[in-house]
Structure 1
Amino acid sequence: MNLFDLSLKLNGFPIKEARRVLVSIQNLNEEGFRDYIEKQKVQIVNYHLKHNPFYQSVFKETRFTNWDAVPIMTKRDLQQPLINRLSEGFSPKNVYVNKTSGSSGDPFVFAKDKFCHALTWTIIQDRFGWFNLNFNSSKQARFYGIPLDKKGYYQERFKDVLSGRFRFSVYDFSDVALEGFLKKFRTTSFDYINGYTSAIVQFAKFLEKREVILTSVCPTLKACVVTSEMLFENDKLLMEKQFGIPVVNEYGASELDLIAFQNPKDEWIVNSETLFVEIVDDNNQVLPYGEEGRVVITSLYNKAHPFIRYDIGDVGILSKESTLQKPQLQKLIGRTNDLAILPSGKKAAGLTFYYITKSIVEDDGNVKEFMIEQLDLQTFKIIYVSNEKLSDSQTKIIIKEIENYLEKGLTIIFERQTRLKRSKSGKLKQFTSLLNKI
């Protein structure tokens, strides 16, 4: 039984229709694809100019004339209540709603219409199929976080059951925990590994120390897909050696779609079917293939909420081998995370703080930016920019969340600033450890 597809269908996401649309796009020849892209770009702009007052205020002009005149949107534009940004005919009750991770330091709530979200899953399934992985039948070893509140925890666990996956904790990388991971691989026929890069690297380092090749204990493994953080070449080589399978680099954004995915030829293929990806300079001029600049993305199907020429906050290069129909990502700068090292000796993935900082991300847009620094083993500083100072009750909630996810007895400092220091690339690293690198 195709439980994954069935769960999407029961939640109102038309997965079969989305799959038919994707196949029709992929069957276009070069000329037909060029016409398709130009048509979709114009259609999505005109749709939001007609049906979305928020986008009208961003666009400022009354009608579309040419693509270069379409304004570039930033995350700051979107930091206002979601209801203000939805198109006519859409409400939080009839769309897919979620929050961005805040990995760039600019969190907000977003929405997708149900067909657009179905297309997202169709693209993901298509790309995983490059490695003979099927969401309806392949068993996943999942290295992700999980909400610790009762409702969120059981919702994710239920999704895990429907999706045929087992979730490993990224909150504890002690030897005892990692021994438990290895034991699970010995007794479960996993088809693939998927999750946060830094968490999976820690498991690979543990296997190296134990002199274990993972496929020797779990021979059903086919691939490892890493996401959400930068994949460095030495880490990739380590994982491929210790796992005995190819390591695949995924680049995506929850508010958009799967953006790029490495194919079996090790080409980082950009999603050109449902997204239009551009690289621009500091003056918002589109750069030719091979030049480094800001990544700007248009969601070609999201009618509920505009993501049109949306500056995602990353810097990258599309390779000179790119074409309109097959763009290739040569380089991506962004989204690296350190490990948090705690007084007990416990280690946790930097993206653990994604779940913690969700408690300060509110739909009213009060918190504009945030980042977290580990000053020493005991002390963490939460630095944020906001319209109003966090209240005592809010800071108590955050401290409680940190105790739930990490451990008690930590010192938490809150520091409100008017602006946060960014790297030369313009990225704001959500979590930084000032401890010596391990």
Structure 2
Amino acid sequence: MDFIIKRSPYTSLVSNLFFPLHERLKQHDSVAVRKQMEITQWWDKDRLYDFQLSRLRSFLSRVQTRVPYYQQLFTELDFNAASIQSLTDLERLPRLNKSIIRANLEALKSSQAQDLARFNTGGSSGEPLIFFIGKRRISHDIAAKWRATRWWNVDIGDPEIVIWGSPIELGAQDRLRRIRDRILKTKLLPAFEMSEQKLDQFLAEIRIMRPKMLFGYPSALSHIARHAEAKGQRMDDLGIRVAFVTSERLYDEQRQQISKIFNCPVANGYGARDAGFIAHECPQGGMHITAEDILVEIVDTQGNTLPPGQAGEIVVTHFATDDFPFIRYQTGDMGVLDSQACACGRGLPLIREIQGRSTDFVVTQDGTVMHGLALIYILRDLPQVDAFKIIQESKNLTTVWLVTKTNLDSELVRRIEQAFKARLGQKVNILVERVAQIPPEKSGKFRYVMSRVTTH
């Protein structure tokens, strides 16, 4: 059985009346979907598997008759959606990637799709991807996020501060949106600029609002936490219940920093605007997949599906709607599935580890693929370094940007060069540069490592 969430009268009013009305006016069925998800999350593994298989079969059958791109593909492969007998039958279909979507944008729309909304990814790793989502898919993603929020004894209507950088959210701050956010007690702070003055303003806003939850990029929240610590500004007495982080890899030191300064647990979330709300961490530490809507596969560079415990690319199928289907969609992220059950008792399958985007990995001179953490650890604990970014331009050149308290001295540069060469190769050129600040990506994210060398 689920726990009872402790809500204030105002939060109950918003969660039970205003937000459901808001969703109904937008023609979203997120309320009903969330309530159903709060039942299915407790089903055992076998019952969830049967539920997934039934939904997948129905979803693929609709795709086969309504989506021109897949009508042709299924015919070429002699693939009959109604005859699939297991989830592994999905492996007979090729993976979907951004290039295929760009080349078949109209053919991927269902013939029965209505009210499709145009979206695009941030394009932090290259050209943005344009795609379309219908109201049913939006409803399911809202419901999945809402369910996960409630795991942490917070709900819609509890005060929330969002540190975000997406142009979509920031560009939508019209009058009606501001009124809605005021009712929901949600305040959006832009993550694009992290100057000392802005960080002071962020701390002041958080202290004034005293939110029950924070939401944002782990890099942004940890940056604010470090600034509070450096300023000697207490932020652990505000009653914050949880800090939700998403959209980037969450590093252990970021989790510790955020948790210590704001005196709250950190809940990791994993998803994307294109791929959906894939997984979220529960208070017992399990990273639960939204299995009612999403099937997650881990594949190697040759496209072979890997068993739990082995690392590979995360590939997702979102079967909430066939309006613009994402079937075996390559996320570009690397991860590991877990075959164990979570102590919380939920039957939802688990992702054991999310290792980051493929561009968070570097390639040594001899072709070995290595996680960027191997280089991050070299810089993270240097007392002279306040911030850094590592850019692998090629197998033969890696640039290191440093924000330091003092001018670079030759001994520090030599130590960094030696440590990087020991991991990347002795003949690799390491260019260490001191900069005034590390600029964020266009999305507002801060990335420690960026590799321009393909890992495939």
Matching of residues 222-371 of structure 1 within 5 Å: 222-321=241-340, 325-335=347-357, 345=436, 348-352=439-443
CA distance in 1, matches of 2:154, 2:27: 24
Is the contact between residue 272 and residue 325 of structure 1 (CA under 8 Å) also seen in structure 2?
A: no
1:121 to 142, 150, 156: 142
Matching of residues 36-51 of structure 1 within 5 Å: 36-51=51-66
Which of structures 1 and 2 has the bigger CA Rg? 2
More deviation in 189-198 or 163-172?
A: 163-172
CA distance in 1, matches of 2:442, 2:153: 28
Match of 2:70 in 1: 55
Return 5+ residue gaps in structure 2 as ranges.
1-12, 361-371, 373-387, 390-400, 404-433
Is the contact between residue 297 and residue 315 of structure 2 (CA under 8 Å) also seen in structure 1?
A: yes
Is the contact between residue 198 and residue 349 of structure 1 (CA under 8 Å) also seen in structure 2?
A: no
Match of 1:182 in 2: 203
Corresponding residue SS for 1:349: coil
Code of the residue aligned with 1:175 in structure 2: it is E
CA distance in 2, matches of 1:235, 1:6: 37
Code of the residue aligned with 1:327 in structure 2: it is P
The percent of aligned pairs where both chains have the same amino acid is 22
Q: CA deviation at 1:186?
A: 2.2
Question: Paired residues, what number?
Answer: 358
1:140 equivalenced with 2:160 (yes/no):
yes
TM-score w.r.t. the length of structure 1 is 0.73
Match of 1:215 in 2: 236
Corresponding residue SS for 1:308: strand
Match of 2:90 in 1: 67
CA distance in 2, matches of 1:196, 1:307: 25
Corresponding residue SS for 2:106: helix
CA distance in 2, matches of 1:117, 1:32: 25
Is the contact between residue 172 and residue 347 of structure 1 (CA under 8 Å) also seen in structure 2?
A: no
More deviation in 222-231 or 184-193?
A: 184-193
Q: CA deviation at 1:236?
A: 1.2
In structure 2, the CA distance between the partners of 1:162 and 1:88, relative to structure 1 (3 Å rule), is farther
Is the contact between residue 137 and residue 320 of structure 2 (CA under 8 Å) also seen in structure 1?
A: yes
Q: CA deviation at 1:319?
A: 2.2
CA distance in 2, matches of 1:171, 1:67: 40
CA distance in 1, matches of 2:131, 2:159: 30
In structure 2, the CA distance between the partners of 1:151 and 1:68, relative to structure 1 (3 Å rule), is closer
In structure 2, the CA distance between the partners of 1:301 and 1:148, relative to structure 1 (3 Å rule), is closer
In structure 2, the CA distance between the partners of 1:277 and 1:147, relative to structure 1 (3 Å rule), is closer
Q: CA deviation at 1:158?
A: 5.4
CA distance in 2, matches of 1:151, 1:246: 30
Code of the residue aligned with 1:70 in structure 2: it is L
In structure 2, the CA distance between the partners of 1:140 and 1:49, relative to structure 1 (3 Å rule), is same
Return 5+ residue gaps in structure 1 as ranges.
355-370, 375-419, 427-438
Q: CA deviation at 1:194?
A: 0.3
| Structure 1 residues 119-156: Cα deviation after superposition (integer angstroms, max 9, x where no partner) | 11111011011111112x11111101254999644276
